[in-house]
Copies of this chain bind each other. A is one copy, B any other.
Amino acid sequence: MRSLTPADLNPAVQNVQYAVRGELAIKAEDLRAKLESKSHGLPFERIINSNIGNPQQKGLDQPPITFTRQIAALMEYPPLAEVVKDVWPSDVINRAKELQAEIGSVGAYSHSQGVPIIRRSVAQFIEERDGYPADPEDIFLTAGASSGVSLLLNMLITPNKTGVLIPIPQYPLYTAALAQFSGIPLPYHLSEVDGWSTSLDEIKSAVEKAEKDGVDARALVIINPGNPTGALLDWRTMENIVKLCEEHGLVLLADEVYQSNLHSPDTHPFHSFKQVVRRLHSKVPLFSFHSISKGVTGECGRRGGYFECTNIDPEVRALIYKMVSVGLCPPLSGQVGIDCMVRPPKPNDPSYPLWKNETDSTHAALASRTKLMAQRLNALPGISCVTSPGALYLFPKIELPDLAVQEAEKQGKTPDTLYALELLDQTGICVVPGSGFGQKDGEHHYRLTCLCPGVEDYVDALESFHLKFLKKYGAEV
């Protein structure tokens, strides 16, 4: 009988890498299981999953927004309205009724592109954000932003021919999807010394290299606010990127899932690529992604997101519809979550005061934690950390002693993986090595989320580990 071994599988599968849930995350799960035994013998009492932007996970416990959850509960069990009608705010009850009248049961498949009324809400949200019209027919609701990215890359890539420009460092969904669909990654480096800024020249030389190598550079991925960097693009750079896409015939994929995670909106505001494209009257084909998993919503588990098509040929849009229809529809819980995100309570609504309080607290906690963590990390020998004005992460650079580099080599690991594994073993803190996102040769980083509870203790643990690590491998501290 013929067996089924890894060698029998689609070779593209072997090439897929996704460090956010890779070796470190798997080891963290094993340690978490060990902690359940009283005599675990580990030097910590809990695992802190700083490897993934998952605000509501156990132990982090960023509270969900009450407005969203009350609506969700009513959607699940409509007779509940009678029970809570004098207790829950009237706008919550009304919103749930409005959605039920349109959707019917959340247990039914919806339109494959997403519930029409929710797509209309998304279009209105975009119009208000950008000052330019948006068409519900151009909106596709998805199971989180990832599934939209993955689908569109699959559609854009002719295997082993099509190249896609990706930032380095990048969120590894992009390299994973490129490997899965046999696309060719065309990396362009972000400039760490310049606050992880995006350089047009870097992108241009990546395009020119592709041309020389006979690769068809077809799409440009921009992550703004950046992941893992937290950087924000300024308007001028965005204009130049759009012009570069025009010049080189690139489709622009704008990953904007952190658009509401802004820690210094006055100095570092967010602009959407949709707005830039419209302001320039550009015809660049653009797909823009958003999600309920990040922001202050943090509803990762519902799997809700959307993408908007701008300047996309209706025939291409029809093909996208065909492809999403094979998967039937995105989860209704995510779709309802999208509605709550893009249509939050208004100042005079009964839900507004609580909603405002909850979202303000989450914004403030994230901004102050990010600032404090960056300050404390920067004060350490051998660490430099760009203070990120957006998103949920820091991506500190670590100088590792030669002995550590040699030890990593001996173990067949990258030096930053050695560092991250020892950090996990000694503190229970799980971060992702920089090699999972890409970095310049000889450099080392790690990504950590700024979602930890008790930030002082958390940074104490990072600090004391770092100093011990340097000592262990013979650095002068």
Chain A positions within 8 Å of B, measured between CB atoms, are: 1-6, 8-11, 13-14, 16, 18, 20-22, 25, 29, 52, 54-58, 61, 64, 69-70, 72-74, 76-77, 80, 83-84, 87, 104-112, 143-144, 146-147, 150, 154-159, 162, 173, 176-177, 180-182, 218, 246-247, 249, 251, 283-285, 293, 298-303, 312-313, 315-316, 319, 322-323, 325-334
Residue of B nearest to A49 (CB): B109
Query: In the assembly, what is the distance between CA of A182 and CA of B158, in Å?
Result: 11
User: CB distance B303 to A16 under 8 Å?
Assistant: no
What distance in Å separates the Cβ of A153 from its nearest Cβ neighbour in chain B? Answer: 9
Query: In the assembly, what is the distance between CA of A181 and CA of B10, in Å?
Result: 10
User: CB distance A249 to B2 under 8 Å?
Assistant: yes
User: CB distance A13 to B83 under 8 Å?
Assistant: no
User: CB distance A327 to B146 under 8 Å?
Assistant: yes
User: CB distance A322 to B16 under 8 Å?
Assistant: yes
User: CB distance A107 to B64 under 8 Å?
Assistant: yes
What distance in Å separates the Cβ of A217 from its nearest Cβ neighbour in chain B? Answer: 10
Known contacts: A72-B76, A301-B331. The answer to whether A56 contacts B104 by CB under 8 A is yes
Residue of B nearest to A26 (CB): B321
What distance in Å separates the Cβ of A101 from its nearest Cβ neighbour in chain B? Answer: 10
Query: In the assembly, what is the distance between CA of A249 and CA of B332, in Å?
Result: 40
Q: Number of copies of this chain in the oligomer? A: 2
Query: In the assembly, what is the distance between CA of A87 and CA of B84, in Å?
Result: 12
User: CB distance B1 to A57 under 8 Å?
Assistant: no
User: CB distance A313 to B4 under 8 Å?
Assistant: yes
Q: Please indicate which of the listed interface residues A22, A69, A84 has the most CB atoms of chain B within 10 Å of its own CB.
A: A69
User: CB distance A18 to B325 under 8 Å?
Assistant: yes
User: In the complex, which residues of chain B have a beta carbon less than 8 angstroms from the beta carbon of A70?
Assistant: 77
Query: In the assembly, what is the distance between CA of A284 and CA of B14, in Å?
Result: 23
User: In the complex, which residues of chain B have a beta carbon less than 8 angstroms from the beta carbon of A329?
Assistant: 300-301, 303
Give me 14 A-to-B residue pairs in the complex whose CB atoms sit less than 8 angstroms apart, sorted by A's number: A1-B247, A9-B158, A21-B325, A21-B328, A57-B104, A57-B105, A61-B104, A83-B83, A105-B301, A106-B333, A107-B298, A109-B300, A110-B301, A303-B330
User: CB distance A5 to B330 under 8 Å?
Assistant: no
Contact of A322 among B18, B105, B154, B158 (CB under 8 A): B18
User: CB distance B9 to A319 under 8 Å?
Assistant: yes
Query: In the assembly, what is the distance between CA of A70 and CA of B325, in Å?
Result: 30
Residue of B nearest to A70 (CB): B77
User: CB distance B105 to A6 under 8 Å?
Assistant: no
User: CB distance B159 to A104 under 8 Å?
Assistant: no
Residue of B nearest to A71 (CB): B76
User: CB distance B69 to A108 under 8 Å?
Assistant: no
User: In the complex, which residues of chain B have a beta carbon less than 8 angstroms from the beta carbon of A301?
Assistant: 105-110, 329, 331-332
Contact of A328 among B146, B155, B322 (CB under 8 A): B146
Residue of B nearest to A182 (CB): B159
Known contacts: A18-B326, A84-B83. The answer to whether A109 contacts B11 by CB under 8 A is no
User: In the complex, which residues of chain B have a beta carbon less than 8 angstroms from the beta carbon of A105?
Assistant: 56-58, 61, 64, 301
User: In the complex, which residues of chain B have a beta carbon less than 8 angstroms from the beta carbon of A251?
Assistant: 4
What distance in Å separates the Cβ of A240 from its nearest Cβ neighbour in chain B? Answer: 16
User: In the complex, which residues of chain B have a beta carbon less than 8 angstroms from the beta carbon of A83?
Assistant: 83-84, 87
